[in-house]
A = this chain, B = another copy of it.
Amino acid sequence: MIVTLTTDFGEGSSYVAAMKGALLAVNPAVSLVDLSHRLPPQGLVATAYFLSDALPYFPAGTIHVVVVDPGVGTDRALLGVAWAGQVILAPDNGCWTPLTRRSPEPPRVYRLDQPRYWRPTVSATFHGRDILAPAAGHLSRGVGIEEIGSDCPEWVELRLPEPVLAGDVVRGLVVFVDRFGNLVTNIPAGAVRPGAEVHLPGGGRPRLVRTYGEAEPGTPVALIGSNGRLEVAVVNGSAAGQFGLTAGAAVEVRRPR
């Protein structure tokens, strides 16, 4: 069984290592896959985009442990979310709700309240190691999610900033910058018609293309990226560097006249 780990602990942190130990102690045969340990500290919006962009590619049966937890040390619940044949284990902070909201498959949500599936001693500040990791271990051994938790009728919903349509203009924003300096926005493919104009703060006007290969290296372009949203790039260069923009910057798409 595959168990993935997604955290904001930083690669190489002893917190990640301890979680792996606590998981393998329950099921040494698990197939452990690191997804990310580099989400911004307490960054729920970034986590929501990350999960939305990555989890749809995983097979049914995968168990995902997601620990980005601004509510650490409070009495926020810990959830098990069954969705599309996969299970997400996470604090109740809504990070998974944008993923399931856009999906036709409704989630079933459980509150993890069965201490016999936890470590015998539970710390006040590290439920990832003491509750979520062992719970994932038990799930991976075939324990049902309805055994490790109870039906949970309510949970925190996270709302991502949505692009706004005003007349012929769609106003969105940069939601993250990838390692290539591409500015990935929240503007969906459906809002970008052929011939549309893309306007950046400071006057940047990247040319709309279908793919990088339509422009020379060094050219600013806008295109629908691999996750189905508009992104601004510089071919073999950095749009973030060239335009001096980062996450949060406004991006406008104007329909062709």
Contacts and interface: CB of A to CB of B under 8 A. Distances in A.
Contacts of A225: 125-126
B28 A211 contact: no
Contacts of A2: 24, 28
Nearest to A58: B21
Given A14-B50, A37-B12, A75 B213 contact: yes
A53 to B, nearest CB: 4
Interface string A175-209: 00011100000000000000000000000000000
A212 B72 contact: yes
Interface in A119-141: 123-126, 129-130
Contacts of A123: 226
Contacts of A49: 14
A167 to B, nearest CB: 30
A208 B15 CA distance: 22
A20 interface: yes
Contacts of A32: 31, 33
Nearest to A235: B73
A76 to B, nearest CB: 8
Contacts of A11: 11-12, 36-38
Contacts of A218: none
A18 interface: yes
A13 B77 CA distance: 28
How big is the A interface, by class?
A: 35 or more
A8 interface: yes
A242 to B, nearest CB: 14
A56 to B, nearest CB: 8
A210 interface: yes
- Most chain B C-beta atoms within 10 Å of own C-beta, residue among A21, A39, A180, A223: A21
A19 B58 CA distance: 9
Contact of A17 (B14, B18, B29, B36): B36
A20 B50 CA distance: 14
Given A54-B18, A213-B74, A38 B24 contact: no
Contacts of A54: 14, 17-18, 21
Contact of A38 (B12, B20, B28, B59): B12
A163 interface: no
A31 B31 contact: yes
